[in-house]
Structure 1
Amino acid sequence: MSIFSQNTKTSSVRSSILKKGTNLSKRFSEINTQPKVRFVLPHSKRVHNILIEVTRTGSSRDYENLLVLLRDAELLDDDLSSLLKEATQCISLLNRDLRLFVEAILGVRWVDRNKSVVSEYQSFIVNLISAHNYHAKFVIDKLVFLYIPDSSKCEWPDGVPLDSDCLKFVNIHYLLNILLVVVPMCKELLLHSLRHHFPYHTKSTHIHECYLHNLIWTMEYQPSFRSEILHLIFSKLVIMDVNAPKGDIEKAANSGSEEIFLMDDDTCSVKTSSSHNIAHTLDVCLAKLYNYIIEECHSPAGELDWNKTKSLYHDLITVFDKVILPTYNTHHVQFVMFVMCSLKSSITEAFLNYLWKKVCNPCVAPVIRQASVNYIASLIARANYVPFLMLKGTLQQMADWVHSYIGTQDGLEYINSDVRVHSVFYSVCQALFYVVVFRKKDLLRTKKDIIFLESMNLAKTVTCRLNPLRVCQPAVAQNFAALTRKYQLAYCYSVMEQNSRNTIPTIYQDEKGAIVMSNNVLDAFYPFDPYVLERSSQKIQLLYREYKEKRKQRRETEQMEITEAEVDDFLYQENPHSSSYKFSYGSSPGFKFKG
């Protein structure tokens, strides 16, 4: 076996940002490319004889040399093609005893070779797994590992894969698809491998976008995997989401633009300290998912494919139920349902019905019921594609449920008004108040609309013995009170004055035995609050309704409140720091506290 080496010329190194003359910059300027070693492969009969010998004797120097050759040699396309043909002729010998030889071949770079080499490699793998399925796990792991790019690679421009990367992925998925058809056991192995190799959430954005791109590709030729793969994807994206709070994203975006320079030999673009790495990765991943949803549900001509849309909705609602809904205070992942519902009004109606059934089901945990009603309120408030009749119908459902609940409590001699006991009732009331205020321009356009609001009997809701205004968020209560007084729908300020005199917190012991102090105010979690990610927001902006209140109208309303009777004076005198209740752009409930 002859060996020869080829030295390459010293690579030129660009001037470093480091000062000239330092030891580090001098070391970088002296880096040479390592010499590449190439070997002449043995004849096919020789390879066959080597494998026969090691099978009989258990060890062979020629066999060890062959393994070293496969592991360390820089094989030319012709060499690799010849080797694969020789290995294919020896398939019957490649049992567990020759596992090292199989692993050595699987470790050879092949995806970016010429068509002949790629074809020979794919043929070898299919024949190998068909004859010896105990190699299947290692083969599947190797193929899935190829989803992950080199860490030195840069992000795709606008998330669009390069042609060279697409060619590699085509070769991988073509082979995977054949294996899934020929060897059914590979299906479970593939799902396990996809879970195992999913990148950690702090890995680079490009690693995640490549891996997600290949997961979506896998779903296209294996639709039966879609539910499991979507569950995997969103389980990981939820972790990113909770590790990238809106406050941190906005703080990073508003921080200084001081640049962090990369090494001169790095071909990636310059980064700045204002970037939030996890948020950027989440942004890129969600953009790819939104594109997938839109493309999957539409034909090439751009028409909605109803059968595909229904199928994808059922898969997404399953993932939503198991992963997203039970997770508290996510910020962006849930917008996948916002985009999905925008495709057709019947999808929106189905999603609202799904959530409302959870709200009404006493067997569901109260925290899930509260989250469900918050999703309902946030969706019909923020989505500009929700029909007006659907908005009114949802409000009517809430009002009927509230009055039914009040009716069951009014018949009791004593009512336990603890927030924990009636948490779902209070959440539905707050959701009802929130939507009425948020969509007031639509709900108060005509006299007929005002009559509809009067039919909801809001006055009875705010004056009932359970006193929902006592636990509502201050911004919701104040805006609702101002609106209902202006249109004589309810009179809330006398109730709110009494509530202001009863601000004693509740102290109780939780299920773990810890002492907890509660201020008896509901959480302000509205899932579809303003979206702050940049790239993926392009799919959200056209579907989204911002809360806008004209300054002139706000000043007139405030002036009217100041000149009201003394019963309202406490709103401006009770707390000189009332501005602390104001909500920022990115926090619930989307409108500001009047004070």
Structure 2
Amino acid sequence: MVSLASTDRAAGIVAPSAGGSLKRKQPDTHFDAEHLPSNQIKRRRVTFDPEVDVRILSDVNEKSLELVGEEVRRALEKHATDDNSAYDQIRSLLIFRPTSADAPVTSLLQKYVIALTNNVPLLDHKCSGLVHAIIECSWIARNEQFVRSYRHLLRSLLSVHPGYTSPVLNMLVNMFLQLPSPALRQQDDPPILRTRLQTRVHECLKYILRQSPMMSTFLAPILSSTFPFPTDTTKTHVQYIKNILRVSGYCPELKGEILSLVMDKLVKIDVQIQVDMEELEDDMEDQIVEETANDAEEEESDNESVSSEESLDGDERHIKELRESVAKLDAVMDLLFSHYDSIFAQGDLFDIDETFESLLSQFASIILPTYRSRHTQFLLFHFSQTSPDLMERFAGCCSHLAFDQRRPHILRVAAAAYLASFIARGAHVSGPVVRDVFDLLCHHLETLRAAQEPTCKGPDLRRYGTYYAISQALLYAFCFRWRDLIVTPDGTPLTDEQLMYHETDFTWHNSTQEILRHNIFSKLNPLKICAPTIVTQFARMAHHLRFLYVFPLLETNKRIRLARSMGNGYTDGVGARETALTMKKGEEGFLLDAYFPFDPYVLPRSKRWLSQDYVQWKPIPGMEPVAGDVADEEEDDEDDDDEDGDDESDSEKDVDVDGVDLDDATDISA
């Protein structure tokens, strides 16, 4: 360290008198100064202490912490008086890339970080340029000592100047999207793994959040605004969602908001895929899913993607983008299944209850109001079947939403479809639950019929949309769970042999048979309004099981022409929205859509989570097959989830009595 020269006067040296001349007089050079009288000495002499170590710093990186601290303090004080030279030098040290030849070594930069921490009160609004240099500093890949000092600087900065909270949180959250390269480090820093970089980001964020409970209120909108755009890559979406799910683990006050945010963004991607699928031919849908499955394990570089994009025409580019969207949805769904499974598999009843309540809240506020959501609801479908209690809670939630008179009709209709689809397709839904739901639906159906039939002049979807939604829910659920409705002496379901050789009429649960008969042959005529594919299949199965014989009514319905009601018109909006969104024309616009939200799940990677949860369509044993019936191939063939038994268009036009596979009633575009 450079020592200060000693300023002690030498013995025998006397300062010049006050009255002496200021003009320097040069004595003869051959005289010895020591022999001069004291009054002739005109200047002060300086001597050096021989015991003080005097050396010159050959390397600026050897500055002591005390010297750096004094340098920083003086620079900030001078900057307050508009002397910016030292201030700018410190700022430039922070913004150098670690790999730059002019960049300071990490050990020296750490001293500046510590010095800035000690002078945080001086970093007011006038020092915003220096503060932003601190925030943008390449800190993530340096050694552990530097990272700890930098983390402490950020926390001290936010405690004294909370106005910098948003820039600091934005810096950290942006690393969820794109993590800096591990190569951005000084040569004196040890190598570091990319996973460790990600951990450092979370450690820093957690360290800051512990400072004040109010920090999370700043973080929530930043997580939402930074969420990847729908057009961003699959890798970007997966990486970001993984990170914010990790945040929900150590910031429980944001857990609900984070899970809802992910669900909301995912539903939008899901719906956009269905909208795009509507514009394609039916065979293209199967091709896109098949190509997505083939590409699931292939990774293309960005350069390859750009070059291939330039060589495609408009239609090919659209197909490619749609395939990428399907792959993106598939990857994120797989990630969410894995995330929730880690909670349900632990068996902690409190965590399971809290998580399932969060899923039910997301269902009611995000999924249910979104028309044509196709895949996201399967999170509820899967995890509600993990225990009888959760099954009843989900069915109860759908029932409450379907019959709550305070809710819009459109939501009640959708909730009825969810309820019917859940009990029809849920492999783990028990017989008692199925029968309880049938009792509930039959009760409400009969109540509506009694109230509406006296003034009914004919079938009208717009007047009686809720009634027809419940009717179709019962028809659909009957086609899948008819076995649970047959009453046996010992309470066990009939075997296939008992069913085939049973000669007398079956005994049906409670008043299911009578209630459906009264309603089907009422003035409301639900078989005319319900989706032809479901009506046709129900007619064949009901006849084979000696439940109801409705073929004469179907023939009569062919001669009934539906027209727009001139009365109250669109009283519930069901028909209006279906017609607008599905582009139905003619009489099809007056029929109920064959939409059941738990129809076949086709995403190739994430479908593995549902392999044991799903009831596949199977015909009744002993019932003769007809043209249009499709065997249950989707259970064994991953590429043929939507079979091609395409009699739907003919059955919709002619209401033919030919059988139709219900797994084809709704496909990926439904």
- Per the normalisation by structure 1, the TM-score is 0.79
**Shift of residue 191 of structure 1?**
0.4
Contact conserved, 1:474 with 1:581, CA < 8 A, in 2? no
Does the C-alpha gap of structure 1 residues 86 and 384 become closer, same or farther in structure 2, counting only changes over 3 Å?
same
Contact conserved, 1:227 with 1:319, CA < 8 A, in 2? no
CA shift digits 1:28-65 (9 cap, x unpaired): xxxxxxxxxx99697342232222211222x5133233
- Structure 1 stretch 62-71 or stretch 497-506: which is displaced more? 62-71
Instruction: Look up the match of 2:433.
Output: 390
Instruction: Look up the match of 1:113.
Output: 142
Contact conserved, 2:413 with 2:465, CA < 8 A, in 1? yes
Unpaired runs of 5+ residues, structure 1, are: 1-37, 154-162, 560-571, 591-595
Cα distance in 2 between the residues matched to 1:116 and 1:437:
67
CA shift digits 1:283-341 (9 cap, x unpaired): 11111111111112332xxxx22211111111121121111100011111111111220
Alignment of 1:214 onto 2:212: no
- Structure 1 stretch 355-364 or stretch 208-217: which is displaced more? 355-364
Cα distance in 2 between the residues matched to 1:378 and 1:462:
20
Cα-Cα RMSD = 3.8
SS in 1 for 2:364: helix
Does the C-alpha gap of structure 1 residues 331 and 574 become closer, same or farther in structure 2, counting only changes over 3 Å?
closer
- Structure 1 stretch 77-86 or stretch 508-517: which is displaced more? 508-517
CA shift digits 1:78-131 (9 cap, x unpaired): 243233122212212111111111111111122232211211111111111111
Does the C-alpha gap of structure 1 residues 498 and 223 become closer, same or farther in structure 2, counting only changes over 3 Å?
same
**Shift of residue 557 of structure 1?**
10
Instruction: Look up the match of 2:133.
Output: 104
SS in 1 for 2:549: coil
Instruction: Look up the match of 1:250.
Output: 286
Question: What does 1:529-548 correspond to in 2, within 5 Å?
Answer: 529-548=599-618
Alignment of 1:238 onto 2:267: yes
Cα distance in 2 between the residues matched to 1:386 and 1:394:
11
Question: What does 1:446-485 correspond to in 2, within 5 Å?
Answer: 446=488, 450-453=506-509, 455-456=511-512, 457=514, 458-485=516-543
Instruction: Look up the match of 1:313.
Output: 356
Letter in 2 for 1:451: T
SS in 1 for 2:625: helix
Instruction: Look up the match of 2:27.
Output: none
Cα distance in 2 between the residues matched to 1:298 and 1:312:
12
SS in 1 for 2:543: helix
**Shift of residue 491 of structure 1?**
1.9
- Aligned partner (choices 323, 344, 355) of residue 297 of structure 1: 344
CA shift digits 1:525-549 (9 cap, x unpaired): 1111111112211111221121123
- Structure 1 stretch 243-252 or stretch 340-349: which is displaced more? 243-252
CA shift digits 1:173-210 (9 cap, x unpaired): 22222322212331111001111101101101111111
Letter in 2 for 1:200: F
CA shift digits 1:57-76 (9 cap, x unpaired): 2x513323333332234244
Does the C-alpha gap of structure 1 residues 499 and 587 become closer, same or farther in structure 2, counting only changes over 3 Å?
closer
**Shift of residue 575 of structure 1?**
6.8
**Shift of residue 282 of structure 1?**
1.5
Instruction: Look up the match of 2:666.
Output: 588
Contact conserved, 2:227 with 2:240, CA < 8 A, in 1? yes
Letter in 1 for 2:332: C
Instruction: Look up the match of 1:55.
Output: 80
- Structure 1 stretch 243-252 or stretch 339-348: which is displaced more? 243-252
- Aligned partner (choices 590, 593, 603) of residue 523 of structure 1: 593
Cα distance in 1 between the residues matched to 2:370 and 2:459:
27
Does the C-alpha gap of structure 1 residues 261 and 359 become closer, same or farther in structure 2, counting only changes over 3 Å?
closer
Cα distance in 1 between the residues matched to 2:556 and 2:522:
14
Does the C-alpha gap of structure 1 residues 199 and 587 become closer, same or farther in structure 2, counting only changes over 3 Å?
farther
Q: Identity over aligned residues, as a percent?
A: 23
Cα distance in 2 between the residues matched to 1:164 and 1:152:
10
Cα distance in 1 between the residues matched to 2:652 and 2:158:
77
**Shift of residue 518 of structure 1?**
5.1
Letter in 1 for 2:84: S
**Shift of residue 461 of structure 1?**
2.2
CA shift digits 1:431-478 (9 cap, x unpaired): 101111122344458477742247311222211121111111112111
Alignment of 1:122 onto 2:145: no
Cα distance in 2 between the residues matched to 1:523 and 1:359:
17
**Shift of residue 221 of structure 1?**
1.1
Letter in 2 for 1:176: L
Cα distance in 2 between the residues matched to 1:39 and 1:216:
44
Cα distance in 2 between the residues matched to 1:147 and 1:174:
13
Contact conserved, 2:461 with 2:468, CA < 8 A, in 1? yes
Letter in 2 for 1:387: S
Does the C-alpha gap of structure 1 residues 265 and 436 become closer, same or farther in structure 2, counting only changes over 3 Å?
closer
SS in 1 for 2:163: helix
SS in 2 for 1:524: coil
SS in 1 for 2:604: coil
Letter in 1 for 2:466: V
**Shift of residue 584 of structure 1?**
8.3
Letter in 1 for 2:128: R
Contact conserved, 1:459 with 1:489, CA < 8 A, in 2? no
Does the C-alpha gap of structure 1 residues 586 and 469 become closer, same or farther in structure 2, counting only changes over 3 Å?
closer
Letter in 1 for 2:532: P
Alignment of 1:277 onto 2:347: no
**Shift of residue 553 of structure 1?**
3.9
Letter in 1 for 2:534: V
Cα distance in 2 between the residues matched to 1:305 and 1:46:
56
- Structure 1 stretch 47-56 or stretch 94-103: which is displaced more? 47-56
**Shift of residue 362 of structure 1?**
2.0
- Structure 1 stretch 336-345 or stretch 179-188: which is displaced more? 179-188
Letter in 2 for 1:318: S
Does the C-alpha gap of structure 1 residues 330 and 178 become closer, same or farther in structure 2, counting only changes over 3 Å?
same
**Shift of residue 422 of structure 1?**
1.0
Letter in 1 for 2:385: S
Contact conserved, 1:253 with 1:275, CA < 8 A, in 2? no
Cα distance in 2 between the residues matched to 1:369 and 1:391:
19
Contact conserved, 1:252 with 1:276, CA < 8 A, in 2? yes
Alignment of 1:71 onto 2:95: yes
Instruction: Look up the match of 1:407.
Output: 450
Larger radius of gyration: 2
SS in 1 for 2:176: coil
SS in 2 for 1:64: helix
Cα distance in 1 between the residues matched to 2:223 and 2:180:
19
**Shift of residue 589 of structure 1?**
8.5
Letter in 1 for 2:595: F
- Per the normalisation by structure 2, the TM-score is 0.71
**Shift of residue 413 of structure 1?**
5.3
Contact conserved, 1:287 with 1:536, CA < 8 A, in 2? yes
Instruction: Look up the match of 2:28.
Output: none
CA shift digits 1:249-291 (9 cap, x unpaired): 533234698999757899xxx9x95981122111111111111
- Aligned partner (choices 444, 450, 461) of residue 419 of structure 1: 461
CA shift digits 1:361-407 (9 cap, x unpaired): 22211110110010011111111111111011111211122122222
Cα distance in 1 between the residues matched to 2:321 and 2:225:
32
CA shift digits 1:547-580 (9 cap, x unpaired): 1237974438999xxxxxxxxxxxx999789699
Does the C-alpha gap of structure 1 residues 430 and 99 become closer, same or farther in structure 2, counting only changes over 3 Å?
same
SS in 2 for 1:439: helix
Letter in 2 for 1:358: L
Cα distance in 1 between the residues matched to 2:300 and 2:328:
20
Contact conserved, 1:226 with 1:315, CA < 8 A, in 2? no
Cα distance in 1 between the residues matched to 2:609 and 2:291:
26
Question: What does 1:547-566 correspond to in 2, within 5 Å?
Answer: 547-549=617-619, 553-555=623-625
Cα distance in 2 between the residues matched to 1:249 and 1:427:
27
Unpaired runs of 5+ residues, structure 2, are: 1-58, 183-191, 310-318, 494-505, 630-649
